[in-house]
Amino acid sequence: MSALHLDPPLPPDELRARLHAGALVVFSPRPSTAALCAWARELIAQAFAPLDPLTAQHDLPVERFVEVCAPLKPRFIHHPRTRELLKAMMADLRLDPDTTYLDVPRLRMVTSHGYLTAGVGYAHHPHRDTWYSAPMAQLNWWLPLWEMDATSAVAFHPRHWEVPVPNDSSEFDYYEWNAVGRAQAAKHVTSDTRKQPRPLEPPALQPELRPVVPPGGVVLFSGAQLHSTAPNTTGRTRYSIDVRTVDLRDLLEGRGAPNVDSRPRGTSLRDFRRMSDDAPVPDEVVARYDSGRPADGVLVFRPNAEERLGLA
């Protein structure tokens, strides 16, 4: 069901149940979300100074643009202030700090007119996060950092909430991806050859829904939604942040979106940390969602020295 809720006055358990049933949720900007976005904008502006980050792509060769963005991402992701502001936002949106687990947030840039479409600026083809070993209970939070419109949005393809998309997620192994794919992101400037799960035949992309929200607004959706990056034709780079959450009670009770076509190996659950004390998801819970690992796989992505320098 593809209902769209705006600022739903629902208790958190009910809200998650609606999201697991296919609803999309939009929250209007509020002080806690605005503070997180202002912080991300500050870091981006510093990195590109004296250029305007929205138009810097027109002034820089693409390799230089990648050099600016690559260290910016880990700086935002691992900065203590980022996690502090994220937790404040989640608390403001009434998530329970004792049962909510967060993955590290991501900072994304989608350049205009295909200036940079690979590696750090990868524009996502239609996919479900659950093809990439996300649990069916995962919720995704997406926040644009500057004014945006439908040509620089996340596109949802609700027809495939219930209708499977033939795909090769059965070839995807999360631990192998951690070992190889992610560490190579910055090496991909003009094309991206990392093995990612993809549709094997074109999905029905229409009807398509592209929520347009102001900076500080939030789009919240199940990780099982089929979604893609709309081609940006605005002439300006689109910057956004996103973060994923799971609730322990959903994991314990097996609640989440229905699995219509996700068959990856492994689970990303070890990447999540509890809001209250940064504890990992208990091993016995992870074990229920794990489907084995290859001998040479890596359970959790730990950036190597090269990545800490911002090269990946």
**Given the rule CB under 5 A, which residues bind Fe ion?**
129
Cβ closer to Fe ion: 129 or 250?
Answer: 129
Cβ closer to Fe ion: 141 or 175?
Answer: 141
Tell me which residue has tokens 């890596």: 298
Q: Closest separation between CB of residue 229 and Fe ion, Å?
A: 9
Q: Closest separation between CB of residue 81 and Fe ion, Å?
A: 25
Whether 312 and 184 have beta carbons less than 8 Å apart is answered as yes
Cβ closer to Fe ion: 129 or 247?
Answer: 129
Q: Which amino acid is at 251?
A: L
Q: Closest separation between CB of residue 132 and Fe ion, Å?
A: 8
Hey, what's the torsion of the CAs at 112, 117, 122, 125, to 10 degrees?
90
Question: Helices 62-78 and 80-92 meet at what angle, rounded to 10?
Answer: 60
Question: Helices 62-78 and 31-48 meet at what angle, rounded to 10?
Answer: 140
DSSP characters over 195-224: ----BSS-----S-B-----TT-EEEEETT
Q: Closest separation between CB of residue 51 and Fe ion, Å?
A: 28
Whether 175 and 267 have beta carbons less than 8 Å apart is answered as no
Cβ closer to Fe ion: 81 or 195?
Answer: 195
- Going by DSSP bridges, is the β-strand pair 154-156/273-274 parallel, antiparallel, or unpaired? unpaired
Structure tokens at 128: 């479900």
Q: Closest separation between CB of residue 128 and Fe ion, Å?
A: 8
Cβ closer to Fe ion: 129 or 261?
Answer: 129
Query: Can you list the alpha helix ranges (DSSP code H) found in 106-227?
Result: 174-176
Residue closest to Fe ion, measured at CB: 129
Cβ closer to Fe ion: 39 or 132?
Answer: 132
Q: Closest separation between CB of residue 127 and Fe ion, Å?
A: 6
Q: Closest separation between CB of residue 63 and Fe ion, Å?
A: 26
Q: Closest separation between CB of residue 64 and Fe ion, Å?
A: 27
Distance in angstroms (rounded) separating the CA atoms of residues 4 and 183: 36
Buried residues in 141-170 as b, exposed as e (16+ CB within 10 A): bbbbbbebeeebbbbbbbbbbeeebebebe
Structure tokens at 293: 């690992």
Measured from the Cβ of residue 171, the count of other Cβ atoms closer than 10 Å reads 14
Cβ closer to Fe ion: 19 or 56?
Answer: 19
